[in-house]
A = this chain, B = another copy of it.
């Protein structure tokens, strides 16, 4: 993409209404624009990051054998009356009446709707295990929306639902979700720590939240430093292997890690003192096993191997896709702007032309741009007629992890500069070497 043809409305001033770094930086970098309180338009740069996060979520969910579908944003109130949650949910549920005077709502979550789909179509254990998920816009009418997309009203979320014949099978689904979530967050450059949590309005027995450590987090967290040493890395997981999934869950749940809601001071004191940590965390996902809560209320049953009709065991599992954009920025920025992890960056590499209009510089930039595109990458080429300082400031603000700088002086010796946004370190190399290096950084293209 050439910046001269793109829509990247960066702001010079820091918007007064933004209290935290991610909100400030998303506004300044031209990623979002507020439409009304807690509701945002995703401008082109923000949309790219949102889509990258969604893509990683889809890939990892499907790798775990979960099946994508899509439920609508508006739901009939009747379904929620069946589960008893229509009255229980409170004013955060946006209630709507349509022109036929039917009670509707903008879905904040989908347990009722997916249970209705299940009971309409599935009646035998032979069709289990089954996990269906979708990524859809949801609404929660927050009293005081704030912190930009971190606590918005209209938000984008992946929510998945497992259906299993009994508790053991459902607990495997729970573990499978935890494993896939660990991998998902790591691909986004995040360390998200699973912490035992309260179940809240979803209900349920077992639940873990995934928290990203950041000073601006809404929760106080207590953990054993050992958990921050764990890496998912390149492990290949067979998601059908019950023991393998449980072993990974055991590894991540053995060290103490809890939020203030479930904190147990006595257990925390048992952690060696030099490893005890207190911090703040941003919740970016949560998994639940809640057994037959919805299947009992809504009559979702299957026939088991013995021919008995039993309620299906369920869980639900969420990843806050739009919230993650903010959470990643909270965890990865500096005074000059955002620092995108390679996994989610809106463009793989910036190209800065220090002398726009100079034949050699223009040709070298075009060559770099074309070569990166040929490798399946998306570069952002700043081809505007602007001062070098302004171009660097924009690149630093929008936070592309790598930048190739092309200037007349270096180019006389055939050299350009490759700069890491994270370390600030620059290295001179030939045009070809810079292209190769960027290609190696993003091997999957």
Give chain A's interface residues, CB within 8 Å of chain B. 5-7, 9, 30, 33, 35-37, 39-44, 46-47, 50, 65, 67-76, 91-92, 94, 96, 98-100, 102, 104, 106, 113, 117, 120-122, 127, 130, 132, 134, 137, 139, 141, 143, 153-154
Residues from chain B with a CB closer than 8 A to the CB of A69 are 7, 41-44, 46-47
Partner among B7, B65, B73, B127 whose Cβ is within 8 Å of the Cβ of A73: B73
Residues from chain B with a CB closer than 8 A to the CB of A70 are 41-42, 47, 50
Residues from chain B with a CB closer than 8 A to the CB of A134 are 47
Give the top 7 A-B pairs by smallest Cβ distance, nearest first. Answer: A9-B121, A36-B76, A42-B70, A41-B71, A99-B141, A47-B69, A39-B72
Residues from chain B with a CB closer than 8 A to the CB of A102 are 36-37
User: What would be 23 A-B contacts, judged by CB atoms less than 8 Å apart?
Assistant: A7-B130, A9-B121, A35-B72, A35-B74, A36-B76, A36-B102, A39-B72, A39-B74, A41-B71, A41-B117, A42-B69, A42-B70, A42-B71, A44-B67, A46-B69, A47-B134, A72-B137, A72-B154, A74-B106, A92-B99, A96-B106, A98-B153, A137-B137
Residues from chain B with a CB closer than 8 A to the CB of A71 are 35, 41-42
Closest residue of chain B to A58, judged by CB? B51
Query: Complex: how many Å from CA A69 to CA B120?
Result: 36
Question: Shortest CB–CB separation between residue A98 and chain B, in angstroms?
Answer: 6
| Contact between B76 and A35, CB atoms less than 8 A apart | yes
Query: Complex: how many Å from CA A35 to CA B143?
Result: 28
Closest residue of chain B to A132, judged by CB? B7
Partner among B47, B74, B92 whose Cβ is within 8 Å of the Cβ of A154: B74
Q: Other CB < 8 Å A-B pairs besides A36-B104, A94-B98, A137-B137, 7 of them?
A: A35-B74, A36-B76, A39-B72, A40-B72, A41-B113, A50-B70, A73-B154
| Contact between B98 and A141, CB atoms less than 8 A apart | yes
Given contacts A7-B130, A130-B7, contact A143 B41 (CB under 8 A): no
Question: Shortest CB–CB separation between residue A299 and chain B, in angstroms?
Answer: 17
Residues from chain B with a CB closer than 8 A to the CB of A33 are 117, 120-121
Query: Complex: how many Å from CA A106 to CA B102?
Result: 16
Closest residue of chain B to A130, judged by CB? B7
Residues from chain B with a CB closer than 8 A to the CB of A154 are 72-74
Query: Complex: how many Å from CA A139 to CA B104?
Result: 13
Query: Complex: how many Å from CA A7 to CA B41?
Result: 34
Closest residue of chain B to A121, judged by CB? B9
Residues from chain B with a CB closer than 8 A to the CB of A143 are 99
Among A36, A76, A117, A139, which residue has the most Cβ atoms of chain B within 10 A? A36
Query: Complex: how many Å from CA A179 to CA B102?
Result: 42
Query: Complex: how many Å from CA A96 to CA B94?
Result: 9
| Contact between A75 and B35, CB atoms less than 8 A apart | yes
Residues from chain B with a CB closer than 8 A to the CB of A130 are 7
| Contact between A73 and B141, CB atoms less than 8 A apart | no
Residues from chain B with a CB closer than 8 A to the CB of A44 are 67-69, 132
Question: Shortest CB–CB separation between residue A16 and chain B, in angstroms?
Answer: 16
Closest residue of chain B to A104, judged by CB? B36
